[in-house]
Amino acid sequence: MTQEDKNINQDTIVALSTPAGVGALGLIRISGLQSIPVLDKIFVGRNLSKSESHVACLGKIVDGDNILDECVLTIFRGPQSYTGEDTIELSCHGSPYIIKSIIELITRHNIRLAMPGEFTQRAFLNGKLDLTQAEAVGDLIAAQSASQQQLAMYQMRGGISKEIQELRSKLIKFASLIELENDFGEEDVEFADRSELIHLIQSTITRINELEASFQYGKAIKDGVAVAIVGRPNVGKSTLLNALLKENKAIVSDIPGTTRDVIEDTIQIDGMLFRFIDTAGIHETDDIVENIGIERSFEQINKAQVVLWLDEIQEDTEELVQRFSEIKLRPEQQAIIILNKTDSFHTCHSYDVEEAVSTLTNRTPTLAMSALTQNHLDKLKALLIETTHQHAFSQQQVIISNIRHLNILKETRNSLAAAINGLQNSLPSDLIAIDIRHAQHHLGEIAGQITTDDLLESIFRDFCIGK
């Protein structure tokens, strides 16, 4: 950290912490050495310099003889505050004029406006949060579902940090013995048991692989599960989307090719956020615009985590299976076959067709239903949850949802693999120590034991101003 950065972090800062616009209340946050002395000059109602911490009081904000507002002031003395510094929170009326006037008054006393995420960045720099917890603050603010909130809260409580620290501590223990051997380089002595070290590294790699495997589920929680609704024209894709969303989002028509572009919206099912994407019907056509829509359909199929493949239910199950097999899916993608329009299907029992298609497609989840009457719509929702929940999230389970963490874990695994290779080929201790130090370094980057200014800037610049 440069001297200029240190000086900036010693400034007292102010920002609006509630959303901009008209509201009943607005919360203004001030943090730094000058927060209490400055507010003591403009707040009438209590002597703040003599006030205890964590006390709220009613008073007036005044600019000379002019009363700007009557508000509630809460004082938090450092280090027992969010940032670790003396902090003031002003709850005033939500008029944009009042808020603007109060902030302008505060900035006239050598207090500057905060940068995005600066309050949380100070909490990290002052040891109140580690880097994974600070990142979780941003995730918690952005949470749109129960599963996103639960994952963010778990990470804020240090779930990831604890796991990573345990891995790093084991490596540090053995690395110190390897380093000790280097100090006795001229003597033929080994302080570290090679077989035990190989076992430790292998078990660490196994755990890293498990954490990496959780990323797809973690990403689904964090970003929402992308579900592409796919099929031929006029099989009921738009009707199904409207039924799921409970609104007429997509135009429904008997005319094939009505949906020519991607239509997307989100809903929550059992606390999980799903992003449903209605795509143009896949078929051969000479219509230029339709072909563009079909190309986009294939793009969405490739991006989706779950593909809902729709077709009209019929007795010829082999034809249904043949059409489904033409949709090329990646190994990690999940598929659900929807046999639609059971409301107009009377020639045989729907369940028999459902079972036959599921069997012929290697037990792909299959559901016969009617999007128009919404018959079995609840079964579809349950099937989506069952298909998505490959990991059962619990308060004791570590799930990776941050791409930064994933990339660092991959780098850590590469360094550990190099260390094992060195041990198995009897390379000198100093070379093995380098690989283990690299692994330690990478793990230290996750929780923030090792940081750079560029890293901190990239993490906090996307935060809202008042957090």
Residue-wise pLDDT for 391-429, tens only, equals 444 445 788 888 999 999 999 999 999 988 988 887 877
Contact (Cβ atoms closer than 8 angstroms) between residue 260 and residue 280: yes
99 with 201, same domain: the answer is no
Residue 135 within a domain:
no
Alpha-carbon distance of 118 to 135, in angstroms, equals: 12
Alpha helices in 269-376 (DSSP H): 288-303, 317-325, 350-360
Q: Which long-range contacts (CB under 8 A, 24 or more apart) does 184-187 make?
A: 185/429, 185/430
Residue 159 within a domain:
yes
- For the beta sheet containing 306-312, the strands, ordered from the edge strand earlier in sequence to the opposite edge, are 263-269, 272-278, 225-231, 306-312, 334-340, 366-368
> Residue 133, Cβ neighbours under 10 Å: how many?
22
Contact (Cβ atoms closer than 8 angstroms) between residue 274 and residue 145: no
Cis preceding-peptide flag for 79 (omega within 30 of 0): yes
Q: pLDDT tens digit string along 151-180?
A: 888 888 888 888 888 888 888 877 776 666
Identify which of 99, 115, 100, 98 has the alpha carbon closest to the alpha carbon of residue 13.
115
The pLDDT, as a whole number, for residue 289 is 54
The pLDDT, as a whole number, for residue 415 is 93
Residue 420 within a domain:
yes
Last residue of a domain, one of 70, 94, 129: 129
Last residue of a domain, one of 388, 409, 432: 388
The region of weakest confidence among 20-34, 153-167, 448-462 is 448-462
236 with 145, same domain: the answer is no
**Residue 119 belongs to domain spanning:** 3-129
